[in-house]
Structures are given as C-alpha cells and as structure tokens.
A = this chain, B = another copy of it.
Amino acid sequence: MRVSQMLIPTLRETPAEAEVVSHQLMVRAGFIRKAAAGVYTFLPLAWRVVRKIEQIVREEMNRMGGQEIMMPIIQPAELWQESGRWDVYGPELFRLKDRHGRDFCLGPTHEEIITDLVRGEVSSYKQLPLLLYQMQNKYRDERRPRFGLMRGREFIMKDLYSFDRDEEGLDVSYKKMYEAYNNIFRRCGLVFRPVEADSGAIGGNDTHEFMVLAESGEATVVYCPAEPCGYAANVERAVSPPELPAVQESPGPLQEVVTPGQKTVEQVTKGLGIGPERIIKTILYQTEKGMAAALVRGDREVNEIKLQKVLDVLRLEIAGPEAVEGLTGAAVGFAGPVGLKDIPIVADQEVEAMSNAVCGANKTGAHLMGVNPGRDFQWQKCADIRLVKRGCACPNCGSPMEEARGIEVGQVFKLGTKYSKVLGADYLDEKGESHPIVMGCYGVGVTRTMAAAIEQNHDKDGILWPVSIAPFHVVVIPVSNKDSRQVETAERIYGELVEAGVEAVIDDRNERPGVKFKDADLVGYPLRITVGKSLAEGKVELRHRRDGEVVMLLETEVVKRVREIISASL
C-alpha cells in the first residue's frame, strides 16, 4: 500500500480526552476515531490489527476442535427471562423494542442463545463434546466508558462455549482452552500471565483470567516468583496461608485505654507502642441484608469480594459515619467487636488466632487492650476475608509473593450446569438416562488485546507492535522525493517486498523526511527501510523500531534480510 493513498490521519497533539497511552496512541497514530462515548470506528490500520488477532484466535480455537459459528447480536428477551438474567443484568444491558413492541437486548454475552441452540440440536452423548465459538461485537452500556478500547460500550470478543457430558469432560475442554489461550497471547507477542480469578456474577466454579502485564493495568495480580511453583491469582481471588503467632500467649485481662483522636491503625500503633499485627481492625458495612462487621488484623485489608461471598450479599458498601455512630455509639475509628450486638461479625482466620489484642471500644477516644477472641467476643463466621499483598506467603510453596498490574484480556470459566439446568439442555447417556450438559465459557477481548498490546509495547514516540499483530511489517521511506534514484530504489525495494509476501507500505507522500520518520515511529511499523544518501554507496538503512538499532545494508540485500527477520519473529 502507498501511504499517500491510505487513510492514516496521524495527529501531533495528544487528544485531551484520552487518559491512557493506548487510547492516546491509537487516536494519534490514526487507528481509531470516536463515533460516540465508548463507540469507535476502526480505521484501516486498526482493522488490520484486529483481523490479525482474530486470525490467531481462530487458528487456536480450530486447533482445539472449536467450530466457528455466528450468533445474533440482537437477542430476544424471552431467553433472558427464562434464564432469569433479564431482571438481574441491570443498566449495563442495552435494551430495545422492535416495531411490534417485543423486547430485545444487544448481547453482552451469549450463554442464553447458545444454550437454547444446543438444547434444540443436541440430545445424545454421541454429539458431545462440542466446542462452539464466534467472534463478534459485544455490547455493555458502561456508566462511564473510558480508556478508549479498554472499556468501550461496543467491542469485539471471541466467545467459545464448551458442552460436555460431565465434569471430567469439562476439565478436558477447560484445559484445551487454557492451552489455546496461552498460545494466543504468546503468538500475539505479549507478556502475560494466567491467574486464578474470581467467578463473579456469571456464576460457576474454576476460572482463570489471562492478564497482559502492564503498569497501567486496572487489575492487581499476586504471583509466586519461585520456579516451578508459578502460583498466580487476581488479588480479588488470591489466597495465602494465615500468619499464625509463633507462640500462643496466655490471655491477659481486658482493659480500656484512652486513645483520643487515634482513629487509624497507624495512630493506634504509635499511640500504644504496639505493632499493627496486634490490632483487630473492625470495618462496618452496609448490605442489602443490613449492617455487618468484618474483622482483620491491623496490617491487613479486607478483600471485599471474599467478604461478599461469605456474607452472601449482592451489595457491600462501607458504612457511613452516621450508621457507624448509630450502631456503636462512637465516632468512626473506634468500633470494635466487643459488645457489638445485633449484626453479623465475620472474623478473618488470622483474627481467630490472636490473643491479647487491641480493638476499638465502641466509645469515642477509647480502645480495649487484652482482647481475646472467643473469650471477649464471638463471631458468626470465621473465614479468609483478607487481601493478599506483596510479601504474603505463596499458598503452594510458601515463598513470599510479588505483585504486578495486569490488563484482563481473556477469561476461561467453568459454568457447570448453571445454564443447562435452567434452560433444560440435557443429553441422554448410553443407558438412555437424561443429564444436564456441563458447560464452560471462554472469552478473549479482541479489541482489548489490541489496546493491551499498546499499553505494554510503546515508547515516547509511538507504538512498538509485536510483528505478529503489526498492521504492516515494514515501511519504506525515500528521503528525498526529488532524488529520482532514491525514489526508484525505494519503489523497487517496496515492489520486491510485496512480491515476496512481506506486508510493506511505501511512504510516497510529498512530505519532509522528518514527518515521515515521526509518523513511522508513531504507527509502529516494526521495521523501517530508509533510502537516502548512502545510496551513493549502494546502501540503505534498516532500522528496528523496538530498539532503534540501525544497520546499513546493500540495497540488493535488504529484502532478504527483512524476510529473515519477519520469519524469525512469527
């Protein structure tokens, strides 16, 4: 392709509304344009990247026996009512009516549609296992769409659904997809990590997220650096063995101490001259079932995802000052479990093991010392409700764990029989007995993967595309459009590259070389061939975008070299 004829509207200025690098660079490099909040047009370069990612995904899905289909984007409400999600899904579901007043939604996911399909077409164990997938626009009416393609309202996903006769079959399908996802993100040239994840609202059992590691990631990953352990989990889900006291102290007397203005753990540790691991932190929450208290050690944070599950509530918010005062009779910062009545108390496992601890006295400006769980207060539940962080012990091998930021680009998920039971997708086994089909679902955010690739691969000048998903592999730049020998040589090299199947463009615009170089860096072609003054010695420049390495090559050899580099990178 000739840059003079391509729609690559690069910008020198960073668009004001773009908060993250991938959004900024995709707009600046002429990849995307906004059509509405969270809704984008993909320009030619971006669409090439999307199609490359899609093709990698397709090949890996097919390799695992996946069959590609295409389900509708507009889905009838009846199926969502049947599954019970029509009322639950909330305002993120785009809803519409047809001319006859019938309700539809724009699919955010396709469990209902595919389970309906399979209940109609699959009746025998002979038809299982079955892996069906599609790549398609998905819709989520985000309250605040932002970060460009990272959190859009219209985005492209690959979703595969597996159908098996039992849990063992699901395990096999799940492992296939887990392997396929590793292949996909590896082939996309990304540094990533599969991590244990929380199953959230889709429901189900095992689940892993695939995280592209990048500083700008919204998710926190905790992982074990020890080889070959490799434990890694989303912090929402991460576990670590409770730290128990080495020596069990004998219980001392419970006594109240005055702690004026000491509302935080830090203030109390300072004021009383004790370590934070001796403090019982009491956090009061509002839920749809009323208030609840969570107890963790003073040097811990509450993992609200874990707490939510323990409490079995949909809504969990930290209680406001009024509610806290109403319940405890004290200002925020002085709550404690001793004497706390009428609300459920959940104690973390580490709290259960504490002795002679300190906690709020439910009296403003006072704490209790010598608090002994079980003796001085009771709890409804003892559970793991603490947030794992850097330095916590690995649950597998005990090594201290590390933290990283990640962008979730894929998730694999054991659904079990959640949808097949409610929608009646059954099969008959060899004996003619009926069983619900066991399902899994597996998503890759295709457009999000493109954005994550940029978050992970960029520098101050622009994008550093991995070769496998670069919009083009190489740009050829004649330095002077007035030097006919430069132009002819550039054209000849470009022609030979295209002939050899290399994805090449030639920047034949009547622009200064500086403009062409800047645009080439911004767009992020992995290789740049510059045809300039060295042509006098028969040489051209080959530059690697990623490390800036430059080599001078005979113009007759550059095509061969480019082909070698590209084959080696794919």
Residues of A within 8 A of B (CB): 4-7, 9, 33, 35-36, 39-44, 47-48, 50, 65, 67-76, 91-92, 94-96, 98-99, 102, 104, 106, 113, 116-117, 120-121, 126-127, 130, 132, 137, 139, 141, 143, 153-154
What are the residues of chain B within 8 A of A70 when measuring CB–CB? 41-42, 47, 50
- Decide yes or no: A137 and B73 within 8 Å by CB, A94-B98, A104-B36, A132-B7 being known contacts: yes
What are the residues of chain B within 8 A of A42 when measuring CB–CB? 69-71
Smallest CB gap from A112: residue in B: B35
Could you pull out 6 A-B pairs where Cβ atoms are within 8 angstroms? Answer: A7-B130, A33-B121, A36-B102, A43-B69, A74-B153, A98-B141
Say yes or no: A47 contacts B68, CB within 8 Å: yes
A interface: dominant SS: mixed
**6 residue pairs, one from A and one from B, having the closest CB atoms:** A96-B96, A42-B70, A36-B76, A44-B67, A91-B99, A9-B121
Say yes or no: B71 contacts A41, CB within 8 Å: yes
CA distance A70 to B447 in the complex (A): 12
What are the residues of chain B within 8 A of A76 when measuring CB–CB? 35-36, 39
Say yes or no: A68 contacts B44, CB within 8 Å: yes
CA distance A50 to B127 in the complex (A): 25
Say yes or no: A72 contacts B9, CB within 8 Å: no
Say yes or no: A67 contacts B141, CB within 8 Å: no
A9, A74, A75, A153 — most chain B CB neighbours (10 Å): A74
Minimal beta-carbon separation of A9 from chain B (angstroms):
4
Say yes or no: B99 contacts A141, CB within 8 Å: yes
Say yes or no: A74 contacts B106, CB within 8 Å: yes
Contact of A67 among B7, B39, B120 (CB under 8 A): B7
What are the residues of chain B within 8 A of A35 when measuring CB–CB? 71-72, 75-76, 113, 116-117
What are the residues of chain B within 8 A of A75 when measuring CB–CB? 35-36
Minimal beta-carbon separation of A27 from chain B (angstroms):
12
What are the residues of chain B within 8 A of A116 when measuring CB–CB? 35
Contact of A72 among B41, B95, B117, B127 (CB under 8 A): B41
What are the residues of chain B within 8 A of A50 when measuring CB–CB? 70
Say yes or no: A73 contacts B73, CB within 8 Å: yes
CA distance A6 to B129 in the complex (A): 10
What are the residues of chain B within 8 A of A121 when measuring CB–CB? 7, 9, 33
Smallest CB gap from A41: residue in B: B71
Smallest CB gap from A163: residue in B: B7
- Decide yes or no: A74 and B154 within 8 Å by CB, A69-B42, A130-B7, A143-B99 being known contacts: yes
